[in-house]
Structure 1
Amino acid sequence: MAELGLNEHHQNEVITYMRFARSKRGLRLKTVDSCFQDLKESRLVEETFTADEVSEVLSGLQALVHSEVESELINTAHTNVLVLRQLFSQAEKWYLKLQTDIAELENRELLEQVAEFEKAEFTSSNKKPSMDLKPKLAPLNEGGTAELLNKEILRLQEENEKLKSRLKTIEIQATNVLDEKSKLERALQDLQLDQENQKDFLIKAKVLRDLENTIAVLKSELQKTLNDKTENQKSLEESLATAKHDLLRVQEQLSMAEKELEKKFQQTAAYRNMKEILTKKNDQIKDLRKRLAKYEPED
């Protein structure tokens, strides 16, 4: 846009700084001129001087000029540091990191360009600065858009960390619930196997009851046969004894089966409890999935 390649606002800032530097430089030059003028008025009052006197005068003048020039150079360096500090402070408000290229400070082409710009701005135009060419820097220690933005960024970062921590906690809880669900599913499978065993037991119990009924019928028939046929009593008694042994064996089996059935029925009550626990855990898992769905991005 302009001779220095800056926008209007930044170019005006450069002009303001150059005006400040010119005024300081002018004051220092006046001070150096006054050194020479004081020397002329105080020391150069005689018509002739010896070599030692001339050397002494020049040494004193050299010391004065050296002190003034050194003071100006130091002040200029410190002033430049303050300018950089203002720029860097404003940049940090927006989380920017500015860099400087020291090598460019000795670029003769750029230095000549700045000299021509200064000459054109302060020599040719001879204009006095207007008030609108001196915009103030944004306040560094006061509130404003940058400060509010910084606070909002910090708040969002804290909220993001809280959400990450909460999501991690929910993931751990979900993992624990899934593990517990797996255990309950395995327990349910075991109970289902026990249920199948109970069905087999019931079938065997039915067979035993049928056998008991058969034995009862056989006993009745045997008693009738004993009454009707005495000659076959011995054979019938042996059959009866065998039937009694069978009955005792069957009764023993039935007793064991009844004990096992009682034990299985007790496990059936545990099965109901486990099923209720599994139902509750499934509800918890569904609830956790719904909660997790709020934090997962949509497809």
Structure 2
Amino acid sequence: MAELGLNDHHQNEVINYIRFARSKRALRLKTIDSCFQDLKDSRLVEETFTVDEVSDMLHGLQAVVHSEMELELINTAHTNVLLLRQLFTQAEKWYLKLQTDISELENRELLQQVAEFEKAEFTSSKKSNTELIKPKLAPLCEGGSSELLNREIARLSEENEKLKARLKTVEAQATSALDEKTRFERAMKDLQKIQDAHKEKQGMQEVETLEKTLADLKTEFEKTLDERKSNQKCMEENLIRSKHDLLKVQEQLSLAEKELEMKFQQTTAYRNMKDILNKKNDLIKDLRKKLLKYEPDD
């Protein structure tokens, strides 16, 4: 069986369109046959005709057939435009841009492939006796773009929550680093106090030992402090970057909410509700005026 390289659903749609085109073609051919039959029944009643009479009959038949063919070609072109309109409308619902290659419409190889496909589909007794189900197009609702906006808002909200959690983690790490730095400085002060006390109570040997220990501790502390400073700098940079990302996501979220609100304000339901509220306000104003007329204010 000839194939067009489409999936089953789209191939069934092509078969439905070919069936429609075949029925229109058969109807138009019957119309042309009837034109010739009418000419035979109405004009070919004599045994001999002059050249002028034959020419006149042929011109009349030509005009009728020309009119029928022109009408059929125009109708076929308009039908194809309606078919393209259905496809483009469905594509625009999801913001797709379809493209067509007009040169492929005169590709003899592809046209032969379509002809073989039509012959294979409609010469089989099974295919000719089975009517395919013709699905109706799903109506386009006004909520298509709103649905996309809602999905985008949900995505931005989720990303916003993730950035908030990340920001809290970075802030906690920075706070922990500052606390550890404070503990190290306090330990240094305590060691310095101990060193001063030992200098007063013990000899020079113990003082030297303490000084060496203190120098080692000081070196280790400075090394640790440098590492903490480097980590703190990275944390601060991550904190700033996270804040910028958070602000960016919040701005995108705000824009998406505004766009969704504008989309909602453009819907028919919103406009109808606004008109109803305006009419109700006008009615209340009229009732108040009538009430003041019969019961004036003291």
State yes or no: 1:128 paired with 2:129.
yes
What displacement does 1:140 show?
A: 2.7
Q: Residue 89 and residue 47 in structure 1: after superposition, are their counterparts in 2 closer, same or farther (change >3 A)?
A: same
State yes or no: 1:76 paired with 2:76.
yes
What displacement does 1:70 show?
A: 0.3
Aligned residue pairs, count: 169
C-alpha distance in 1 between matches for 2:74 and 2:146? 38
Out of 235, 241, 246, the position equivalent to 1:295 is 246
With the length of structure 1 as denominator, give the TM-score of the two structures: 0.50
Amino acid at match of 1:127: S
State yes or no: 1:103 paired with 2:103.
yes
What displacement does 1:55 show?
A: 0.3
Q: Residue 5 and residue 156 in structure 1: after superposition, are their counterparts in 2 closer, same or farther (change >3 A)?
A: closer
What displacement does 1:52 show?
A: 0.4
Alignment of 1:91-240 (within 5 A): 91-125=91-125, 126-132=127-133, 134-141=134-141, 147=144, 150-155=145-150
Alignment of 1:18-33 (within 5 A): 18-33=18-33
Structure 2: any 5+ residue segments left out of the alignment?
A: 160-238, 249-298
Match of 1:44 in 2: 44
What displacement does 1:139 show?
A: 1.8
Q: CA offsets, 1:115-146, max 9 Å, x none?
A: 111111112335234353x2222223476xxx
Amino acid at match of 1:39: L
Paired-residue identity, %: 73
What displacement does 1:290 show?
A: 11
Note if contact 2:2-2:116 (Cα within 8 Å) is conserved in structure 1.
no
C-alpha distance in 1 between matches for 2:27 and 2:63? 18
Structure 1: any 5+ residue segments left out of the alignment?
A: 164-287
Match of 1:17 in 2: 17
Q: CA offsets, 1:246-289, max 9 Å, x none?
A: xxxxxxxxxxxxxxxxxxxxxxxxxxxxxxxxxxxxxxxxxx96
Note if contact 2:35-2:64 (Cα within 8 Å) is conserved in structure 1.
yes
C-alpha distance in 2 between matches for 1:9 and 1:101? 22
Amino acid at match of 1:93: K
Q: Residue 5 and residue 292 in structure 1: after superposition, are their counterparts in 2 closer, same or farther (change >3 A)?
A: same
Q: Residue 141 and residue 73 in structure 1: after superposition, are their counterparts in 2 closer, same or farther (change >3 A)?
A: farther
With the length of structure 2 as denominator, give the TM-score of the two structures: 0.50
Q: CA offsets, 1:97-132, max 9 Å, x none?
A: 100000000000100110111111112335234353
Amino acid at match of 1:139: P
Q: Residue 71 and residue 296 in structure 1: after superposition, are their counterparts in 2 closer, same or farther (change >3 A)?
A: same
What displacement does 1:292 show?
A: 2.5
Q: CA offsets, 1:22-77, max 9 Å, x none?
A: 10111100000000000000000000000000000000000000000000000000
C-alpha distance in 2 between matches for 1:89 and 1:63? 39
Q: Residue 2 and residue 152 in structure 1: after superposition, are their counterparts in 2 closer, same or farther (change >3 A)?
A: farther
Q: Which structure's CA Rg is the greater one? A: 1
C-alpha distance in 2 between matches for 1:11 and 1:54? 49
C-alpha distance in 1 between matches for 2:242 and 2:109? 65
What displacement does 1:13 show?
A: 0.1
Amino acid at match of 2:94: W
Note if contact 2:39-2:61 (Cα within 8 Å) is conserved in structure 1.
yes
Amino acid at match of 2:26: G
State yes or no: 1:5 paired with 2:32.
no
Note if contact 1:28-1:68 (Cα within 8 Å) is conserved in structure 2.
yes
C-alpha distance in 2 between matches for 1:151 and 1:26? 46
What displacement does 1:87 show?
A: 0.2
Amino acid at match of 1:151: S
Match of 1:60 in 2: 60
Amino acid at match of 2:131: S
For the residue of structure 2 that corresponds to 1:127, the secondary structure is: helix
For the residue of structure 2 that corresponds to 1:86, the secondary structure is: helix
Aligned CA-pair RMSD = 3.4
